[in-house]
Structure 1
Amino acid sequence: MELNYSGRNITVSDRFREYVDEKMTKVEQLTTKVQRIDVKVVKEAHARNQSTALSVELTVVSRGPAIRAEASGADKFAAFDVAFSKLLERLRKARDKRKVHRGNHTPVAVHEATSNLPTISTDKTLVEQTLENQAAAEAAAKEEDSQYTPVVIRRKVFPAEVMSIDDAVDRMELVGHPFYLFIDEANGSHSVVYRRHQYQYGVITLDPSLNEDDELPTEVRGYRDASVS
């Protein structure tokens, strides 16, 4: 069985090849006379959703019709796992179809299986309905493009905690963030402490009573300075 790899906008690594090679042994258990399996990895250069930026397409080529499966994911390994599951399911269905014999195992004809389904009356031809559906899909795509913006603003709301500036510095270091919002217990003001460089930190406090022309108060002190009340 021959495995062919190809990539578009991405390099197919040796680690990925080894991962796929190990999985492909299951294909030989479900079908015979496989000539080759094509594995195609595609990375969308300008994907809007990074969770589906990578796609993997698997194609089994044998004497019968080719069987394909495709899936997208955040990385090629996740996309491959989903596509491979689909491929195995389709291979099982193809194998079961080959095992069907006459009699009770004969599949039901299409006209028999659909005879009890309700008939949908319409005054439009299939071509007209198809064209209308395509037009509706194109209009929806245009509407989505018109509303798309690369700038995304997300809001998160957290409970306000009253603490000292030193405690806020400790909290910031514990969570590993470059800043930390809190209410200063010294004056009850909404403040944010942030990391500057090395062992220096800054504090910004909002005071609605101040104007732009007022002299802004500043304070410089040491961490856990005992002289600060």
Structure 2
Amino acid sequence: MELTIKSRNGKISDRQRAHIEEKLSKLERYLHGITSITVEVQHEQQRNAGEVYRVQTTLVAEHGVILRAEERAPDLYAAIDEVQEVLQRQIARYKDKYWRRSREQRRAPNGLTPAEEVAIAEAEAAALATPTEVGSEARVIRTKTFRLRPMFVDDAIEQMELLGHNFFVFQDAETMQVSVLYRRRDGNYGVIIPEVG
């Protein structure tokens, strides 16, 4: 398993790095075939919560499995512990829903590589920007391009839930149209199908 640790602002001490490695390497007990885990640590100042650490983690495993977790805590160690717990729950959920499927069904329908799946996941994550402070102007800070993955709506719902996102862009396998799946406030889902006009 390849573990990449990035810090956007500030340095990560050897002790902190060892804690991250220790916690996240335990995930291999629950899911075999983890190919890589990317951890991004950011130290932030928030108006209501004071200083917090934000830890974003993307786990890539065999069969195109991508899990993503993001947690905030005033202490880096607590944030890492929370991320590990979230990923552990996601692994359990994945196993419950997918583990019993045949090998052919688990394979991505268009043969995307895990790296391409990560690019899709990161593009969707980038679209969920952190809220700006009241009174400041929002602006586009990042633009990403990624390949659409043809899948059925049920598969898109599961992928969106595994990634922890509020929306998911995909190519509908039935109509081959680009669609946007989103979570409604009432807990249900909606699908937006754009029409060129």
**Structure 2-normalised TM-score?**
0.48
* Structure with greater contact order relative to length (CA < 8 Å, sep ≥ 6): 2
Which of the two has greater strand per residue? 2
Structure (1 or 2) with the larger CA radius of gyration: 1
